[in-house]
Amino acid sequence: MAQIPGIDVQVQTASGGPSSGKPINVQVRGGTPEAQSGTVAALRRAMDEIGGFTDVTDTRALPGVEWLLQVNRSEAARFGVDISTLGQAVQLMTRGIKVADYRPDGADGTVDIRLRFPAEYRSLDGLEALRIPTSAGMVPISNFVTFAPAPRSGTIERIDQKRVLSIEANVAPGVLVNDQVLALQAAIATTDLPPGVEISFGGEAQDQQESMIFLVGAFISAIVMMFAILLIQFNSFYQAFVVMSAIIFSVAGVLFGLLVTGQPFGIVMGGIGVIALAGIVVNNNIVLIDSYNGLCREGLEPLEAALRTGAGRLRPVVLTSVTTVLGLMPMVLGININFFTREIVQGAPSTQWWVELSSAIAGGLTIATLLTLIVTPVILVLGEKKPRRRGFGRIRGWLRRADRISIDS
């Protein structure tokens, strides 16, 4: 296709996400059209210097000449010609007037039926010789219309009532979109923009920002609700914080799991994995603390209660985590099992979307379980020592005062 002039072929694979179009989308808003075109040219030069961008396109008008029809409204009013009639006459020389539509057999959509002049009459000379029907008869269009050449404007796109020029690009294989966006943002920060010109990012960067805001809000809401439920159940701020400490361990495990599998941290699937993991890893701490409180109510010392809790709950906690991780391993390894055809495929397209999510949950659960079995009993014992000493000291003081009062009386 490269040998055919005027043909630009671009190959694009499915992005596997909610965004449409190319992942890199830069929008230049405001200012004059000349300032916008100059800014777009500067951005394209910066993208060439950074490298890693492919199939770069922009919405600037292609070089060319357009003919403007400047209507003298007073002269047109003398002949009784309005703009609507003039526009319909011009459309007969260009794209035609839509009169109806129909749906051919086997077609998915309708086809327009348009009326226009034959091809040999559709030219600039024919447009200048066009006659308009008026009350005084057929009048040449040149009596009240002046033709003037002008640079081609192309398609005008507006967002929030501001004219916008866009730059879209793909990234080279093996290059992360986020890294390219950060490099381009750094280059824009060092560029002197014309007055009134603003630059913003759309496409995948905008989707990522919106997803991050939503997931952060969802994560904070989940944390607050879980903390409120734990506080009601345990009636202790300290133990509620101990339970929630497993979430910190799980975040470290998420990063470790992604590092082992070689997956980047994605806002959507990685964020969902962290939120889902927050509700899973707290179960181990709940089980440990509930057993610890039960042993303490039986009269055991904090250290002995912690040791018995760790020994007694080791098997169920480990088995629960191991079975969960093993159940996620097919998704972590990207294995697709087809029971009907008896085929096992690794790296199938249907599994690529879930590798990051499963890796985040499996890695976070593994690290959080190991740390929970060790750190949670230690934190419980440390939290019991100082408060119990102060409490027993106050109780002994109150008892001594009560004894003195009873003796004096």
> Which residue ranges make up each domain of the chain?
24-62+156-205, 65-151, 236-408
Q: Quick count: other Cβ atoms within 10 Å of Cβ 321? A: 22
Output the pLDDT for position 195. 84
Output the pLDDT for position 409. 43
Output the pLDDT for position 12. 65
* Domain 236-408, CATH: 1.20.1640.10
Output the pLDDT for position 396. 45
Torsion angles phi and psi, residue 51, rounded to 5: 80, 165
Structure tokens at 155: 């398609």
Output the pLDDT for position 16. 52
Considering the segment(s) 65-151 as one domain, its CATH architecture is 2-Layer Sandwich (3.30)
Output the pLDDT for position 19. 53
Q: What share of the chain is helix, strand, coil (3-state, %, to 5)?
A: 60, 15, 25
pLDDT digits (tens, 9 = 90+) for 88-136: 888 888 888 888 988 888 777 888 898 888 888 888 888 888 888 887 7
Let me know if domain 24-62+156-205 sits in CATH 3.30.930.10.
no
Tell me which amino acid residue 298 is. Answer: E
pLDDT digits (tens, 9 = 90+) for 333-392: 877 777 787 777 776 666 667 787 888 888 888 888 888 888 888 888 887 765 444 444
Taking 70 as the pLDDT cut, the residues of the chain under it are 12-21, 347-352, 385-409
Tell me which amino acid residue 47 is. Answer: M
